[in-house]
Amino acid sequence: MRLLDQRALPGETIYLDCRQPDEVMEAIRTLTVRGAPAIGVAAAYGIAQAMQLAVRTKDLHANSFDAIFDETCKRFGATRPTAVNLFWAIKRMQETAARWHIRGLHERAAMLVEEAKRIHAEDVEMCLAIGRHGAPLMPQSGGVITHCNTGGLATGGHGTALGVIRTAVAQGKQIHVWIDETRPLLQGARLTAWECAQDKLPATLITDNMAAHVLKLGHVHAAIAGADRIARNGDSANKIGTYGLAILCKYHNIPFYIAAPTSTVDIGCDSGAHIPIEERKAEEVTHLGGQRVAAAGVDVFNPAFDVVPHELIAGIITEHGVAKAPFEPDLVAMVARARAHHNQVEPA
């Protein structure tokens, strides 16, 4: 598996060859590959790789295949806790393994590779559809603020929130992107700014604490962010700082949208209170680019995500349309539609 190392961007374009599933797990943990949909895609390929390697072992029995498969799924599930796309992708791989259970082990491994490719391709299609549904919500001409990175890097391709902006611009809208730098790991400054530059999208970078002032100046007409997990009632977990941005938007009367595929909707989770929030190591806050910036010994709290309550969200854009308040009926229907679509296209 070849992964673009997102930690090195924008300075260097480095590809990491992962020859073992452990290396893919480490890449997810360390944010070499990141963004909820991209994490799911990477895990699916990693599981497929593990089983491809396993069947090359002589005399592998069906029971050992199952044991390696279960253990690999479990270990991928322990890499990052918040992005539900990871667990969604693992479930898809488990369903595939179960469907082909009576076949030979080589065939089962090959089917897992096919499923990973399908998850990847479907993600691109979902992003393009999100773009089509979301573009009409963007201003004809004006500023749109976004947080973290939700572009091609964070997905199978095109992106979710940034994908909506891309589609709107492709349709002729004149959008200026305001990019929150997104402390502590700077996904906005490093990755969204890089993607905007690649696409020649007009964009301005601000530090997170400048957003209130920029909104007050009237530069921004809509806000759009991605999500790592959306509860059934519409509460949406996303990169730390998204909640603050949504509150600022409410105060300034600016619509705040979430854009995410249905693979990000956790229909079994009734509210944001039950979304697990990842806490990461202190060095991400005390250091910048490897340089210590905080006083030594200071205590640090580093939650990687926060939850935007549904009442701050003007609409949740998925590949099946725009869910509006009260979100639950729309989200339940969209997830059901996605499942029905998947069952239709699934191989017999």
Q: How far is CA 215 from CA 20, 135, 225, 331, in A?
A: 47, 21, 16, 30
Interface residue with ligand MRU, options 25, 34, 109, 176 (CB under 6 A): 34
Which of 32, 79, 96, 160 touches ligand MRU by CB under 6 A?
160
For residues 248-273, one letter each, b for 16 or more C-beta atoms within 10 angstroms of the residue's C-beta and e for the rest, the string is bbeeeebbbbbbbbbbbbbbebeebe
Active-site annotation holder among 123, 180, 228, 235: 228
Query: Is the distance from CB of 257 to CB of 317 less than 8 angstroms?
Result: yes
**Least distance from ligand MRU to the Cβ atom of residue 37, Å:** 5
177 phi, psi to nearest 5 deg: -90, 125
* Residue placing its CB nearer to ligand MRU in the complex, 1 or 39: 39
Q: Give the shortest CB-24-to-ligand MRU separation in angstroms.
A: 15
CB of 160 to ligand MRU, least distance (A): 4
Q: Which stretch binds ligand MRU (CB under 6 A): 57-65, 88-96, 154-162, 335-343?
A: 154-162
Residue number, 143 or 188, with CB nearest to ligand MRU: 188
Residue that has been written with the tokens 């009442």 in this structure = 311
Based on the shown chain and the rule CB under 6 A, indicate whether residue 187 belongs to the binding site for ligand MRU: yes
Catalytic residue list contains 228: yes
Q: Which stretch binds ligand MRU (CB under 6 A): 33-41, 45-53, 65-73, 198-206?
A: 33-41
Any contact of residue 148 with ligand MRU (CB under 6 A)?
Answer: yes
- Please state, in angstroms and rounded to a whole number, the distance separating the CA atoms of residues 146 and 144: 7
> What string marks each residue from 59 to 88 as x (binds ligand MRU by CB under 6 A) or -?
------------------------x-----
What span, in angstroms and rounded, lies between the C-alpha atoms of 146 and 165?
A: 10
Residue 228 found at the interface with ligand MRU (CB under 6 A): yes
Instruction: By CB under 6 A, tell whether 262 contacts ligand MRU.
Output: no
| CA 205 to chain centroid | 21
Minimum distance from residue 94 beta carbon to ligand MRU (Å): 22
How would you classify the pairing of strands 15-17 and 174-180? Answer: unpaired
Number of residues that bind ligand MRU (CB under 6 A): 18
Residue with smaller CB distance to ligand MRU, 21 or 188: 188
Which residue spans within 69-156 are E strands per DSSP?
A: 141-146
Return the amino acid letter for 68: I
DSSP codes joined into one string, 250-291: HHTT--EEEE--GGGEETT--SGGGS---B--THHHHEETTE
- Amino acid sitting at position 14: I
C-beta separation of 264 from 35 below 8 A: no
The binder of ligand MRU chosen from 1, 18, 24, 35 (CB under 6 A): 35
The residues binding ligand MRU (CB under 6 A) are: 31, 34-37, 83, 148, 150, 154-155, 160, 187, 226-228, 238-239, 304
Residues marked as catalytic: 228
